[in-house]
Amino acid sequence: MKSKPLLEAHIELSEILRDTHYGHSVVEYSSPPSAGQFAKAVGQSIPFVVRGVARSWPAIDTNNKHSWTNEYLSEKLGDNPVTVSLTGNGFADAVTWLEDDKAKRRPMIGVPQNGSGYATPGQFVFASPYETQLPFTAVLSHLLDPRSPTVAHLQLQNDCLRSSEYSILLADVPSAIPSWATPILGAEPEALNFWMGHHRSISSMHSDPYENIYTVIRGVKIFTLYPPCDAYFMHKQEFRMATWRPVAQDEKPERIIPNVELVLLEGEDRLPWIPITYPALPAPLYPRFAHAPKPFVVRVNAGDSLYLPKGWLHHVEQEEDEEGLCIAVNAWYDGWEGMGLSWGWGHYAQKMETMFSDDEP
Amino acid sequence: MKSKPLLEAHIELSEILRDTHYGHSVVEYSSPPSAGQFAKAVGQSIPFVVRGVARSWPAIDTNNKHSWTNEYLSEKLGDNPVTVSLTGNGFADAVTWLEDDKAKRRPMIGVPQNGSGYATPGQFVFASPYETQLPFTAVLSHLLDPRSPTVAHLQLQNDCLRSSEYSILLADVPSAIPSWATPILGAEPEALNFWMGHHRSISSMHSDPYENIYTVIRGVKIFTLYPPCDAYFMHKQEFRMATWRPVAQDEKPERIIPNVELVLLEGEDRLPWIPITYPALPAPLYPRFAHAPKPFVVRVNAGDSLYLPKGWLHHVEQEEDEEGLCIAVNAWYDGWEGMGLSWGWGHYAQKMETMFSDDEP
For A328-351, what is the mean pLDDT? 85
Q: Quick check: A258 pLDDT over 70?
A: yes
Q: Quick check: B113 pLDDT over 50?
A: no
| Rounded CA separation A47/B42 (Å) | 17
| Rounded CA separation B107/B112 (Å) | 11
Please indicate whether, in this complex, the C-beta atoms of A345 and B341 are within 8 angstroms of each other: yes
Asked if the C-beta of B262 comes within 8 angstroms of chain A's C-beta atoms, the answer is no
| Rounded CA separation A355/B302 (Å) | 49
Q: Would you give the distance in Å from CA B326 to the centre of its chain?
A: 13
- Phi and psi for B357 in degrees, rounded to 5? -55, 140
Proportion of chain B above pLDDT 70, given as a percent: 90
**What's the gap in Å between the CA of B178 and the closest CA on chain A?**
13
Max distance between CA atoms of chain A, in angstroms, equals: 63
Please indicate whether, in this complex, the C-beta atoms of B16 and A344 are within 8 angstroms of each other: yes
* Chain A residues close to B17, C-beta within 8 Å: 341, 344-345
For A131-150, what is the mean pLDDT? 94
Q: Smallest Cβ distance to B16: which of A42, A43, A347?
A: A347
CATH class of the region A5-83+139-151+158-235+281-356: mainly beta
Asked if the C-beta of A38 comes within 8 angstroms of chain B's C-beta atoms, the answer is yes
Higher pLDDT, B336 or B71: B71
* pLDDT tier for residue B110 given thresholds of 50, 70 and 90: very low
Asked if the C-beta of B17 comes within 8 angstroms of chain A's C-beta atoms, the answer is yes
| Rounded CA separation A340/A344 (Å) | 7
From the CB of residue B293, how many other CB atoms can be counted at a distance below 10 Å?
18
Q: What pLDDT score does B105 carry?
A: 44
Please indicate whether, in this complex, the C-beta atoms of B345 and A340 are within 8 angstroms of each other: no
Please indicate whether, in this complex, the C-beta atoms of B341 and A5 are within 8 angstroms of each other: no
Q: What pLDDT score does B112 carry?
A: 44
* Chain A residues close to B20, C-beta within 8 Å: 338-340, 343-344
* pLDDT tier for residue B1 given thresholds of 50, 70 and 90: low
* Chain A residues close to B181, C-beta within 8 Å: 36
Asked if the C-beta of A63 comes within 8 angstroms of chain B's C-beta atoms, the answer is no
Higher pLDDT, B27 or B276: B27
Cβ-proximal residues to B3 (8 Å cutoff; 6+ apart), any chain: B358
Q: Quick check: B111 pLDDT over 60?
A: no
Q: What pLDDT score does B218 carry?
A: 98
Q: Quick check: B27 pLDDT over 80?
A: yes
Q: What is the DSSP letter of A32?
A: P
Q: What is the DSSP letter of A59?
A: T
Please indicate whether, in this complex, the C-beta atoms of B16 and A40 are within 8 angstroms of each other: no
Please indicate whether, in this complex, the C-beta atoms of B337 and A23 are within 8 angstroms of each other: yes
Measured in residues, chain A has a length of: 361
Q: What pLDDT score does B119 carry?
A: 45
For an interface test with A, give the residue of B24, B42, B44 to mutate (most A CBs within 10 A): B44
Q: Smallest Cβ distance to B344: which of A20, A180, A355?
A: A20
Q: Are B235 and B276 in contact (CB under 8 A)?
A: yes
Q: Are B194 and B161 in contact (CB under 8 A)?
A: yes
Instruction: Determine the residue type at B285.
Output: L
Q: Would you give the distance in Å from CA A132 to the centre of its chain?
A: 20
- Phi and psi for B327 in degrees, rounded to 5? -130, 140
Q: What pLDDT score does A105 carry?
A: 44
Q: What is the pLDDT of residues A67-84, one digit of tens each?
A: 999 999 999 999 999 999
**What's the gap in Å between the CA of A357 and the closest CA on chain B?**
11
Higher pLDDT, A184 or A353: A353
Which chain B residue shows the shortest CA-CA distance from A6?
Answer: B352
Task: Count CA within 13 A, CB hemisphere, residue A88.
Answer: 21
Q: Quick check: B15 pLDDT over 80?
A: yes
**What's the gap in Å between the CA of B61 and the closest CA on chain A?**
31
Asked if the C-beta of B87 comes within 8 angstroms of chain A's C-beta atoms, the answer is no
| Rounded CA separation A122/A117 (Å) | 13
| Rounded CA separation A169/A60 (Å) | 12
The domain limits of chain A are 5-83+139-151+158-235+281-356
From the CB of residue A344, how many other CB atoms can be counted at a distance below 10 Å?
24
Task: Count chain A–chain B contacts defined by CB atoms under 8 A.
Answer: 143
From the CB of residue A92, how many other CB atoms can be counted at a distance below 10 Å?
23
* Chain B residues close to A36, C-beta within 8 Å: 35-36, 38-39, 180-181, 183-184
* Chain B residues close to A358, C-beta within 8 Å: none
| Rounded CA separation B357/B361 (Å) | 10
Asked if the C-beta of B342 comes within 8 angstroms of chain A's C-beta atoms, the answer is yes
Q: Quick check: A309 pLDDT over 80?
A: yes
Q: What pLDDT score does A338 carry?
A: 64
Strand A94-99 and strand A27-29: the pairing is unpaired
Q: Which CATH superfamily does the domain covering B5-84+133-235+287-356 fall into?
A: Jelly Rolls (2.60.120.10)
Task: Count CA within 13 A, CB hemisphere, residue A173.
Answer: 29
Q: Quick check: B282 pLDDT over 80?
A: no
For B334-361, what is the mean pLDDT? 82
Q: Quick check: B213 pLDDT over 90?
A: yes
Q: What pLDDT score does B188 carry?
A: 86
Q: Smallest Cβ distance to B36: which of A23, A183, A345?
A: A183
Task: Count CA within 13 A, CB hemisphere, residue A18.
Answer: 18
Q: Quick check: A55 pLDDT over 90?
A: yes
State the complex-level ipTM. 0.85
Helices within A150-246 (DSSP H only): 160-163
Q: Are B222 and B260 in contact (CB under 8 A)?
A: no
Which chain B residue shows the shortest CA-CA distance from A17?
Answer: B344
